[in-house]
Structure 1
Amino acid sequence: MTAAVRRRASTREVAHRLSLALAAALLALAFAALITAVVLQLTHHNAYDALKKMVDYGTQSDQMAAIVNQATTYYLSAVAVAIGFRMNLFNIGVDGQYQLAALLAAAFGGEVALPNGLHQLAIVVVAMLVGSFWAGIAGVLKATRGVSEVISTIMLNFIAAAVIAYLLTPKRLGQLSGENLTTKPINGSGQVRGIALIPGAHTKVFGLVFLAVIVGVGFHFLITRTRFGFDLRATGRSASAAQASGVNVKRMVIIAMLLSGAVAGLVNMPVLLGDAHNYSLSTPSGIGFTGIAIALLGRNNPLGIVFTSLLWAFLDTSSNILQISNIPTSVVAITEGVVVLSAVVAYELVRRFGLKRQQRRVGEEIAEPTTDPAAGTEVIEA
């Protein structure tokens, strides 16, 4: 088989895998829509009317800007999870990592006075360092003591919540603002202005939406274009095989968790610097667990995670119109749950189909007759 033929075959194989992955995602969405329609009908609500209301509401300019803003935080959370997933590590502690990072970064930003540009950068760096440190604890425990990162990161979530409750008091980092506890507000030099990306929208898109773009591009480059990314993926496939080839698996575990935590520390930065300007008891929680579902549905691919984040943000934002129309908003949670479950099943079926197809293709290539250039006779490759 010539090099040109091999390249064409490789291109066709990649296109085939992408088409199968797309088909699996569409199948999962279709199945979730069907289940949601059944639930709505059983609760005496018209499924078509509910979907139309969600689409009409979600495509309004202000709501589109809100969807992009929410998708930005979802995307950062999902990428943080995906970094661990690529190495077969389950970072369940993104929630605690970004919450603690947001608190300390907000407290830092409210106390220091730095020039515009440097102030925002310093806050972001503090958030990344805190998130990286908190995730690194689980990485060190995994590498040195064999402690499951699932258990350690879940427990670290509870510890982070306790640390936040201890620090966010008037005697320490907090201050009373009405009936709420907040950190000292970040002044103008530490804020990031919104951008009017959606025509006609009064709601501006977070300026740090471009931070999510940078993180996504960096994640893709790291995984697909660097030796570290290759070692990370190889370790995720088989730690013993990677170690036999010279990869320091323990070191990879720690670095992967540090990177995952650093990205997790960025999750609340678009909201903190673009809108809230302080950390408070009302700071959104649970985004880390949403990121797990989004990363799974997006196949840990930076581009796939973009579409999944937008879908999740659309469902969450559009659920507001359901409540106004006296339609149970729980149908959105049902839709999201069914999407994840059906996607897992669909991708597994695609994986098995692709494996059988690859085995059949290899068998055909082995049995393919070729011509011996020296003897000029036809031989069968064995």
Structure 2
Amino acid sequence: MRRFDLRRIGLGVAAPLLAIVVALLLTTLILLAAGDPVVAVWQVLFKAPLPRQMVAIVNEATVLYLSAVAVAIGFKMNLFNIGVDGQYRVASFAAAVFAGQHFLPGWLNIIVSLLVAMATGALWALIAGLLKVTRGVSEVIATIMLNYTATYLVAYLLKGAAVKVEGSNATSTAVLAEDSRVPGISLEWLLGTPRQVYGLIVLAILVGVAYWFVMNKTRFGFDLRATGASESAAVASGVRVKKMVIVSMVMSGAAAGLVGMPLLFGQDYAYGDTVQSGLGFAGIAVALLGRNNALGMGVAALLWGYLNQLSNGLQIGAGVSDRLVLIIQGVIVLSVVIAYELVRRAGLRLEQRRVATELAAQASPQAEEVAA
């Protein structure tokens, strides 16, 4: 048993190490083929980030982690919720409009706005869930189309909800009052920089803990994972698959609704036409890189933020485009998928050999008894 546990730990460590080695080799080959300075690029990307960059990495990882959790909920059910990008757009707009009206004072306004964001994201994801269980429409197609619908719908609604700011051409909702903003967490005592970490990093941590608990410690999480592993087996055990599809899509959409909240309440204080895009698609990569594991996605989000922040120095420090980081990120995701599959197959072969050896050892005394 101990030997088996050590082997499992070794395989678990081998997968990410193999992924890193493969990613480094493939990226180096790409740099050589493009004629870019390999050493200079790696020197820029491997240097220690500045204190202000560390804060920016944590802030970006906070948002990406929420996006990854939203995606991972669907992945656990074997559902591909590609619509996180549209869900968080609609949710952020709804929360910004509600919070900007200041119907409620201070923290009560913030809490209710978060609930509004979750409800809006859940309802938008529910559309894809209903289409799948009632009409058999693939959730991939439905959510991709809903992304486009969300983008243009919010752009249209923003024109009516926008508040004109004197001396500015920016289009945005009403700016939040001071008492409706979440204060940042200062790390000046540790890093020596006045930049602050989003206060809603606490929300991201709570979401991660809730995700881990529900998926691993509840009957619902077991049913969800069982359905994702084998729908026919889940049906045989009494799980209502259609209900699980609806619930998992709603939960995924609710988590997606929180993606833009650190930006809304901790940085922008309004929803405008300059809102950050692509967070939903980045969440897919982070969820894959973290293997849908609550802790693993946190590490993957930090890595993603690290690469994004240090990419700004590529053009100056190495003379190459900062778009190179997009290639590196893509290579990392592919490397992780390949590495984990290779390690999984290797582990399966080792397990088969172990079982065969044990069966052979048990069969030998019986054969000797029969011969005697």
TM bracket (short chain): over 0.9
Partner of 1:164: 154
Partner of 1:367: 360
Alignment of 1:105-120 (within 5 A): 105-120=95-110
Q: 1:190 to 1:323 in 2, by over 3 A?
A: same
Identity %: 50
Q: 1:282 to 1:42 in 2, by over 3 A?
A: same
Partner of 1:342: 335
How many aligned residue pairs are there? Answer: 365
Letter matched to residue 329 of structure 2? E
Q: Does the CA-based 8 Å contact 1:182-1:281 persist in structure 2?
A: yes
Partner of 1:70: 60
Q: Distance in 2 between matches of 1:261 and 1:146?
A: 19
Partner of 1:34: 25
Letter matched to residue 260 of structure 1? S
Q: Does the CA-based 8 Å contact 2:182-2:200 persist in structure 1?
A: yes
- Spell out, residue by residue over 1:354-380, the C-alpha distance to the aligned partner (whole angstroms, 9 max, x if none): 2222222222333343999xxxxx979
2:164 aligned counterpart, secondary structure: strand
Partner of 2:351: 358
Partner of 1:51: 42
Aligned Cα RMSD in Å?
Answer: 2.2
> Does structure 1 residue 300 correspond to structure 2 residue 292?
yes
Partner of 1:3: none
Q: Does the CA-based 8 Å contact 2:109-2:180 persist in structure 1?
A: yes
Letter matched to residue 98 of structure 1? Y
1:176 aligned counterpart, secondary structure: coil
- Spell out, residue by residue over 1:96-124, the C-alpha distance to the aligned partner (whole angstroms, 9 max, x if none): 00011001100100002423221111111
Q: Does the CA-based 8 Å contact 2:155-2:273 persist in structure 1?
A: no
> Does structure 1 residue 79 correspond to structure 2 residue 72?
no
1:286 to 274, 278, 283: 278
> Does structure 1 residue 174 correspond to structure 2 residue 162?
yes
Q: Distance in 1 between matches of 2:6 and 2:202?
A: 29
Q: Distance in 1 between matches of 2:315 and 2:282?
A: 21
> Does structure 1 residue 153 correspond to structure 2 residue 143?
yes
1:369 aligned counterpart, secondary structure: helix
2:196 aligned counterpart, secondary structure: coil
Q: Does the CA-based 8 Å contact 1:175-1:181 persist in structure 2?
A: yes
Q: Distance in 2 between matches of 1:12 and 1:121?
A: 50
Q: Distance in 1 between matches of 2:363 and 2:26?
A: 53
Q: Does the CA-based 8 Å contact 1:114-1:189 persist in structure 2?
A: no
1:84 aligned counterpart, secondary structure: helix
- Spell out, residue by residue over 1:170-202, the C-alpha distance to the aligned partner (whole angstroms, 9 max, x if none): xx2112342221000111222101101352122
> Does structure 1 residue 213 correspond to structure 2 residue 205?
yes
Letter matched to residue 207 of structure 1? G
2:45 aligned counterpart, secondary structure: helix
Partner of 1:6: none
Partner of 1:186: 176
Q: CA deviation at 1:345?
A: 1.1
Q: 1:40 to 1:226 in 2, by over 3 A?
A: same
2:10 to 19, 42, 47: 19
Q: Does the CA-based 8 Å contact 1:78-1:292 persist in structure 2?
A: yes
Q: Does the CA-based 8 Å contact 1:87-1:256 persist in structure 2?
A: yes
Q: CA deviation at 1:42?
A: 4.3
- Spell out, residue by residue over 1:202-257, the C-alpha distance to the aligned partner (whole angstroms, 9 max, x if none): 21100011111111111111111000010001000111110111001110000000
- Spell out, residue by residue over 1:141-191, the C-alpha distance to the aligned partner (whole angstroms, 9 max, x if none): 11222211001001110111121011001xx21123422210001112221
- Greater CA drift, 320-329 or 277-286: 320-329
> Does structure 1 residue 95 correspond to structure 2 residue 88?
no
Q: 1:297 to 1:211 in 2, by over 3 A?
A: same
Q: Does the CA-based 8 Å contact 2:289-2:333 persist in structure 1?
A: yes
Q: Structure 1: 5+ residue runs without aligned partners?
A: 1-8, 373-377
Q: 1:305 to 1:352 in 2, by over 3 A?
A: same
1:71 aligned counterpart, secondary structure: helix
Q: Does the CA-based 8 Å contact 1:369-1:379 persist in structure 2?
A: no
Q: CA deviation at 1:44?
A: 4.4
Partner of 1:143: 133
Q: Distance in 2 between matches of 1:305 and 1:358?
A: 27
Q: 1:18 to 1:215 in 2, by over 3 A?
A: farther
Letter matched to residue 121 of structure 1? I
Q: Distance in 2 between matches of 1:24 and 1:245?
A: 33
Question: Could you tell me the TM-score, scaled by structure 2's length?
Answer: 0.92
- Spell out, residue by residue over 1:65-111, the C-alpha distance to the aligned partner (whole angstroms, 9 max, x if none): 00000011111111110110011000000000001100110010000
Letter matched to residue 162 of structure 1? Y
